[in-house]
Structure 1
Amino acid sequence: MHNRIILSIFLTLITAGHVWAETVDRKIKVGVLAFGTLNWELAVVQEEGLDKAQALTIETTSLASAEAGKIALQGGSVDLIVSDWIWVANQRGQGTDITFLPYSTSHGALIVPAGSPIRGIADLKGKRLGIAGGGLDKNWLLLRALAQKAYDLDLNQSTDKVFGAPPLLNQQLQQGKLDAVLNYWNFAAKLEAQGYRRLLDGRGILQGLGIEVDVPSLGYVFRESWAKTHEDTLTGFMKAADTAKKSICESDAVWRKVVPLTQETDERVQNALRQHYCDGRIKSWGEAEKKAAAEIYGLLHQSGEGRLTGKSEKLPEGVFWR
């Protein structure tokens, strides 16, 4: 009897050791922007115990900016960030093994005051235009390509450009210092909730350029070498994150817990952020989207003269994780 008890305890300890080892092995280090939507999801993952359900240990690192996230990933201090596939393509062209899985189809947008006389791209001529992300922002390059194609208009020369941080550009538009703003989706959503008008978004720009397929703009970005040795961890994380997304979009109770993370007190703005976030959930990802991405890459390579995309004229292999 005594021996059976000892054997039982021994087997229990071995089993516990296996479970502990599995949990430790399924650890993922995630770089998170303080006000990014990934932060919403990870909060729900923790609150709902979705990490435990997948036997995951999620370690988060707060990032000061998107650029800081790229540096952290390249330096190995984090395993995964959210970024855009254009940057991934640039890195692949330089020989790195960074790769991409879709996260969101939310696009930036061109916003004007409700009573603005600006009704189309051609009306931007001579206007003061705020642009988030700098001169190589993909939305800006694509908008320039569309203006050139549709109106033979060089926006780079015909507008008074102001490059700046997204919240500052919103503030300048509200103060009447800008005529229009090309801003990221969440900052555009805030303006729309306050009565400003969406003239065109990234999806509309692509359609104007002949690309009808909705290509995810942002994705989970990680090293291919890490993913190959941590496939269970990556799969578990994706399952937990997808469940969190579903809860945010379908459960008002869960959304109320997320609201403080938006740092917004206006309910109209809160609801606009939720709507645009949920509209950006991935509905389709396959060969059609990858083919469209290759077309977009070609347009950006030509418009940005390779400064955004890198030297490769074609979308490099391995940009998208299998």
Structure 2
Amino acid sequence: MNIKICLFAIAALLPQFANANEKPTIRLGAMAAGTLNWELAAMRNQGLLENAGFNVENIAVANQQAGKVALQAGSVDVIVSDWIWTSSMRSTGTNLSFYPFSDTSGVLLVPADSPIKSLADLKGKKLGIAGGELDKNWLLLQALGQQQQVDLNAGVEKIYGAPPLLSQQLLEKRVDALLTFWQFAAHLEAQGYRALLTGEDIIRQLGISETVPSIGYVFKQDWADQHKTAFKQFLGLSKQAHDTLCSSDTEWQKIVPLTDAASPKEQQKLRERYCQGRVEQWGATQQSAAAKIYAMLHQLSNNKLTGQSAQIQAGTFWSAD
């Protein structure tokens, strides 16, 4: 009888031991055209996930807003977004955190033969702006204009829209210049369009010398703290995959179908911009610079982009230590 009781007790405990040994699953909300999909494909191609201490579930999201909704609803664990939104959510009591993914930023483009050489030359021109009136690159461009005594809200016809639509309008000469996201800019640069300013140029001309990652992984802080070992390993493999895509032509060619590049020139420019976006440094200096940018954006947007908090929220930047 005692043996039966012991066997029954052991059998009851087996599921607990199985669950303890089961690898955690990281649910990633990724857009089909996003660079996160490039890295996930590269991780699989390079065999990086085969012996990882976690599983990955790739959950498609239609756009950035859909990803934010999915994260808040608990449908995914991690999305790619920015630290501005992360901080604004923390100010409302939602404890999200950010870890850098890329240094890439928007670009102000003009045709190769355009007479536009400076912000002052935008007077009397049509300017396409991707991301809407609260796009951070647009707000910072206005700040740079003010510094140069150029009011970009006076005498400049602004046209807001989705990046693909605005790219087409630039191609059809329906706008004279375009401020757009880096991937769309890379496609246009490969066709001969000229970068007047990058987002990094704007930041530097505003007096901030540090390179501040514009986008990153965003997740609930308690989830990351509970899965710290697995998530740290994922972040390391993500960086490894990124580095390999930049160093190995063979590995890059494997993910080219995901880039939507129509020509070798577009492939080259996309890879160039993507590799320029590798995060080389992330510490107190870069986070202090981010706080300065946040303060600028808070003032420029009249609280609409950042929320009511005038300062970036403590805990916005997650520490993997």
TM range (shorter): over 0.9
Residue matched to 1:6: none
Q: Normalized against structure 2, the TM-score is what?
A: 0.92
Aligned to 1:188, the other structure's residue is in SS state: helix
How far apart are the structure 1 equivalents of 2:142 and 2:123?
Answer: 12
In structure 1, the residue matched to 2:25 is 27
Instruction: Measure, in 2, the Cα distance between the counterparts of 1:205 and 1:19.
Output: 53
* Unmatched tracts of structure 2, length 5 or more: 1-9
Q: Where do residues 33-182 of structure 1 align in structure 2 (5 Å cutoff)?
A: 33-150=31-148, 152-182=149-179
Structure 1 residue 266 corresponds to structure 2 residue 266: no
SS at match of 1:53: coil
Aligned to 1:230: 227
**How far apart are residue 194 of structure 1 and its match?**
0.6
Supply the distance in 2 between the matched residues of 1:177 and 1:239 (Cα, whole angstroms).
44
Q: CA deviation at 1:20?
A: 7.4
Asked if the contact 1:22–1:55 (Cα under 8 Å) also holds between the matched residues in 2, the reply is: no
Local SS of the residue matching 2:223: helix
What does residue range 196-235 of structure 1 map to in structure 2 within 5 Å?
196-235=193-232
| 2:64 aligned partner, one-letter code | A
CA shift at 1:54, angstroms? 1.6
Deviation digits for residues 58-84 of structure 1 (CA, Å, limit 9, x no counterpart): 001111101100110011000001111
1:176-229, CA deviations, whole angstroms, 9 ceiling, x for partnerless residues? 000000000111111111101000011110111111111000001000010111
**Structure 1: runs of 5+ lacking an equivalent:** 1-9
Q: Percent sequence identity over matched residues? A: 49
Write the deviation string for residues 125-154 of structure 1: whole angstroms up to 9, x where unpaired. Answer: 12100000000000000000110111x222
The answer to whether residue 309 in structure 2 is matched with residue 312 in structure 1 is yes
Q: Distance in 1 between matches of 2:122 and 2:316?
A: 35
Tell me which residue corresponds to 2:6: none
TM-score by length of 1: 0.92
Contact 2:108–2:197 (8 Å) recurs in 1: yes
DSSP 3-state at the match of 1:51: coil
CA separation of 1:20 and 1:49: change in aligned 2, threshold 3 A: farther
1:284 aligned onto 2:281: yes
Aligned partners of 2:22 and 2:200: how far apart in 1? Answer: 41
Within 2, Cα distance between the matches of 1:21 and 1:241?
A: 25
Shift of 1:23: 4.0
Q: Is the Cα contact below 8 Å between 2:187 and 2:261 reproduced in 1?
A: no
The alignment partner of 1:69 has SS state of helix
Deviation at residue 236 of structure 1 after TM alignment = 1.7
Q: Could you tell me how far apart the structure 2 residues matched to 1:117 and 1:23 are?
A: 62
Cα distance between partner residues in 2 of 1:253 and 1:115: 36
Aligned residues: 307
Secondary structure of the 2:50 match is helix
Q: Which runs of 4+ in 1 moved over 2 A?
A: 17-24
Q: How much has 1:19 moved relative to structure 2?
A: 7.8
Secondary structure class of the residue paired with 1:289: helix
Name the one with the larger helix percent: 1
Closer, same or farther in 2 for the Cα pair 1:273/1:19, shift >3 Å?
farther
The answer to whether the 8 Å contact 1:23/1:57 transfers is: no
1:242 and 2:245 are equivalent in the alignment? no
Distance in 2 of aligned mates of 1:23 and 1:58: 13
Separation (CA, whole Å) in 1 of partners of 2:313 and 2:167: 35
Distance 1:138 1:158 in 2: 21
Cα offset for 1:242?
1.4
User: What CA distance in whole angstroms lies between the structure 2 residues aligned with 1:283 and 1:80?
Assistant: 22
